[in-house]
Structure 1
Amino acid sequence: MGKKISRRGFFKVAGATALTTAVAGPTLWVRNASAQRKSVSLLVNSHFVPHFNQELERQSAEWGKARGVDTRVDVIAERDLGAKLASEAEGRAGHDIVVLRWMEAPVYQPSLVPMDDLVQELERGLGTFPEMARYVCRIRGRWASLPWRYDSGVAAINTEHWGKIGLSADAVGNLTWDQFIDAAAKLHANGTPVGVAISESFDSTHFCFELLWSHGAKVADDKGNITINTKETAAAIEVAKRLYKFMPPDVLAWDEASNNRAMLAGTCSWSINPPSIWAVAKRDKLPVADKLDHVAVPAGPAGRFRTAAPYSLGVWNFSPNVDAAKDLLRFLMQKENFLKQVEASGGYNQPYLAGHRGAPIYQRERALRHYEPPKETVHAWGWPAPASSATGIMISLFIIPTMFSKAVSGEMTTEKAIAWAERQVTRIYRG
């Protein structure tokens, strides 16, 4: 059995995994700030809908102008963000505000300013943060970071292809996995297969967790007990093996862009993705744009689930500008500003707070009607395992997608693939 991975060990993993690989150092876009005035800096990841980053910069500058503070928004490539966060936390120097993804708030909690006061203020005016936000951001009784937004793994479909086998978008969104596989066989025969990554990618993470949960399977329980080696996990893998027969064989090597390309080219009929595929098709006026829609992922014996990738905002406790940084966060979370962020993201960013719901884009764009608000049960990746660095490592090392890939490809039997995953997860959680 391997050595337990510590928080410091996570920093090392962060620089080496697909979640946080730094290829040749961080890739930053920087707006210069005056050295004569107080300044607040914000580090965020490059958004899949670039206009969102522009809107964030605009709002930050608006806040700064009103308060006589210079602002700087640094946009870093997604692949570089984890290594950059680790470097700033270890060196206790860097930005004032940082975006935190998935399980990064628990990892960096010792280096973050508690957000209890700001959370309470926002909840008084905008409603209570839901369980998912608490799961990721409330650590050991304190709010380590401010829940900001999330995106989720909904099913993107080409309605023209589904119409040819007699199914409307609403009908597709009501299928069970067994019914879906029957439909996938017909779509494959028509030359328009379904396709989702079964590989080391975050699209695959969406797919695998949704499939597991819908069969009642979980990697670990809320106490951290490893629970992956069950008949429910085996049943989920068997569904993936059946479905794979009707997908392009190279889904075993797909990355985050592969399904986007296939859907935009009109050669794929279904995939799991937030609405960036639709947003790009609409922006670029592609022929497929009017054929794209979003529906719920198929249901299993335990129900219909959707995964979420949560994002929060943290303030380093070594920042010299804590009060100003928290005031900027307060400004960004004002309803008017948050709704503009949603609009700029093409609906990609989903709100936690009831007071942030109702963005016009969700009423205006028919293709987003099933994306927000979700009709499925939504959980963050890793749920219900404790929000911790261990869960973050399990996700960043793609243990679950790799388990599915080993079984689907025939490299291992279902039973051996599950046993392999159990060993990896046990090493991470228990040492």
Structure 2
Amino acid sequence: MTISRRNVLLGGAGLAGAAALPGLGAVPAFAQGAAMPQFKPEPGASLRVLRWSPFVKGEEEAWLANTKKFTEATGIEVRIDKESWEDIRPKAAVAANVGSGPDIVWVWFDDAQQYPDKLLDVTPLANALGAKFGGWYPGNEAYAKADGKFIALPLATIGNAVCYRESWVKDAGFSQFPNETKGFLELAKALKAKNHPMGFTLGHGVGDGNNFCHWVLWSHGGKMVDEQSKVVINSPETVAALKYVAELYKTFIPGTESWLDVNNNRAFIAGEISVTANGVSLYYAAKNDPKLADMAKDIKTTNMPVGPGGVAELTQTTSACIFKYSKFPQAAQAYMAFMFDAPQMNAWIQGASAYCCQTLKAFASNPVWTSDPNHAPYAKAS
């Protein structure tokens, strides 16, 4: 077991009562609304879930607590393994190719589209959840569907926003954080002059690297492909984006070209940088540490600046896939149905403290989005 991975075994109860589960095949978990598919977990079922390593402790704790509730209701043991964000993708691909491994995997972006024939068709469950909870957000739904069928369940969107030290920005001569790219570059130069440089991930970070670089391109009107899937990256807009980021890079702390998803968090918390783009986890890393109380009060969040190409952001979509090779497809679907039901999903979103944005529209009313001003830039990530 590596430091990036931790196994959690939940449950231990027998399978008594698991054969007739209302809604799951019988626990009265679902409220009135759309008719949910009936799942009858296989005798002797147990599940293994592979998920990405959490950045917010409360998110993981809420998921584990919900999983324990499922085990107590069904007797089905659920083991949860964790891998780093970078390692989830190859692990899932290997499982798909060899036909063995975890029953359920949390994947990123279009990962499910790389091996759609290896994934269980969960269309009946996904359609029922969508009908019951106000529908799926289109972007999340698109990543989870192939040939009109759901090959995954859209789980969450990890929001991305600018995190900055308010006092340092003011000390650099800016009373407000710039909301457009020209002013953003001027701020970067001013902060470097004050020995409080910015730092954005330019390495192969699944989240932060992708999010930042796509923002640079899109905010200048650049595209990789057009609506007809024709490659159009060789454009004046792309050149403008490259020129802009080259100037911005000159103001960064050294080493950002090798950063992965955790490096900007560490640099920010260490006081080495003044501005970066991140999920709300960075704010909570400071807020939950008594030694960083003063820093936490100084951290503010805002949406990425608007460029010549208009408003542009890439947020991190994650979906839950069930592999066809699973010996327990009924149990796996019952588990996911339970986790998406309102009591569990609301608890998870709240526990994540604005880190995980809902994929079903009905959960947009979760009070977490208005509980802290720093949550606002993440509220509409989906």
* Residue matched to 2:64: 57
Distance in 1, Cα, partners of 2:101 & 2:135: 31
Quick one: which of 264, 273, 291 aligns to 1:259? 264
Instruction: Return the match for 1:162 from 158, 169, 179.
Output: 169
Shift of 1:350: 1.0
Question: Corresponding residue for 2:219?
Answer: 214
- What secondary structure sits across from 2:255 in the alignment? helix
Contact 1:214 1:300 in 2 (8 A): yes
Q: 1:239 aligns with which of 244, 260, 278?
A: 244
Structure 2 vs 1, CA of residues 32 and 118 (structure 1 numbering), >3 Å: closer, same or farther? closer
Distance of aligned partners of 1:223 and 1:28 in 2 relative to their CA distance in 1, 3 Å threshold? farther
User: Structure 2, unaligned stretches of length 5 or more?
Assistant: 16-43
- Counterpart position of 1:44: 51
Q: Secondary structure at the match of 1:293?
A: strand
Asked if 1:29 corresponds to 2:36, the answer is no
**Is residue 184 of structure 1 aligned with residue 188 of structure 2?**
yes
- Where 1:31 maps in the other structure, the secondary structure is strand
What corresponds to 2:107 in structure 1? 100
Residues 167 and 102 of structure 1, relative CA distance in 2, 3 Å threshold: same
Q: Is the 8 A contact 2:4 2:53 kept in 1?
A: no
CA distance in 2, matches of 1:195, 1:87: 34
Contact kept? 1:199, 1:253, Cα under 8 Å: yes
2-side partners of 1:92 and 1:343: how far apart?
A: 35
SS in 2 for 1:147: strand
Cα distance, 1:257 vs structure 2: 2.5
Q: TM-score, normalised by structure 2?
A: 0.85
State the percentage of identical aligned residues: 24
Moved over 6 A (4+): 23-26
Residues 83 and 197 of structure 1: CA distance in aligned 2, closer, same or farther (over 3 Å): closer
Q: Which residue identity does 1:369 align to in structure 2?
A: A
Partner Cα separation in structure 2 for residue 350 and residue 30 of structure 1:
24
Residues 116, 162 of structure 1: CA spacing in aligned structure 2 closer, same or farther, 3 A cutoff? same
Query: Which amino acid counterpart does residue 31 of structure 1 have in structure 2?
Result: L
- The equivalent residue for 2:27 is none
Aligned-partner Cα distance in 2 for 1:59–1:199 = 35
Structure 1 residues without counterparts, runs of 5 or longer: 1-22, 379-431
CA distance in 2, matches of 1:87, 1:245: 39
Two-structure CA RMSD over aligned residues (Å): 2.3
TM score, norm. by length of structure 1: 0.76
> Quick one: which of 277, 301, 308 aligns to 2:282?
277
In 2, Cα distance between equivalents of 1:319 and 1:296: 41
C-alpha displacement of 1:199: 2.6
> Which of the residues 129, 132, 157 maps onto 1:125?
132
Q: Which amino acid aligns with 1:371?
A: Y
Shift in Å at residue 300 of structure 1? 0.9
Describe the superposition over 1:35-88 as per-residue Cα deviations: whole angstroms up to 9, x where unpaired: 974322222121112332232122112112112322222223334322322232
Which residue is 1:343 aligned to? 350
CA distance in 2, matches of 1:255, 1:39: 34
Give the partner amino acid of 1:177.
Answer: T
Q: In the aligned structure 2, how far is the partner of 1:28 from the partner of 1:334?
A: 26
Match of 1:393 in 2: none
- 2:341 maps to what in 1? 334
Distance 1:215 1:47 in 2: 32
Task: State the 1:133 CA deviation.
Answer: 1.1
Tell me if 1:175 matches 2:179: yes
Query: Which residue, out of 209, 213, 219, partners 1:204?
Result: 209
Q: 1:32 to 1:85 in 2, by over 3 A?
A: same
Q: Which residue of 2 aligns with 1:153?
A: 160
Is the contact made by 2:7 and 2:79 (CA closer than 8 Å) also made in structure 1?
A: no
> Which of 234, 245, 249 lines up with 1:229 in the alignment?
234
* Higher mean C-alpha deviation, range 46-55 or range 224-233: 46-55
Shift of 1:304: 1.7
Whole-Å Cα distance in 2 between the matches of residues 332 and 24 of structure 1? 28
**1-structure distance, mates of 2:124, 2:10:** 31
Contact 1:27 1:80 survives alignment (8 Å): no
Residues 188-235 of structure 1: CA deviation (Å, up to 9, x unaligned): 211112221223333222111011111111112243311110000000
- Say if 1:79 and 1:175 are closer, same or farther in 2 by CA, change over 3 A: closer
- Are the equivalent residues in 2 in contact too, given 1:296–1:370 (CA < 8 A)? yes
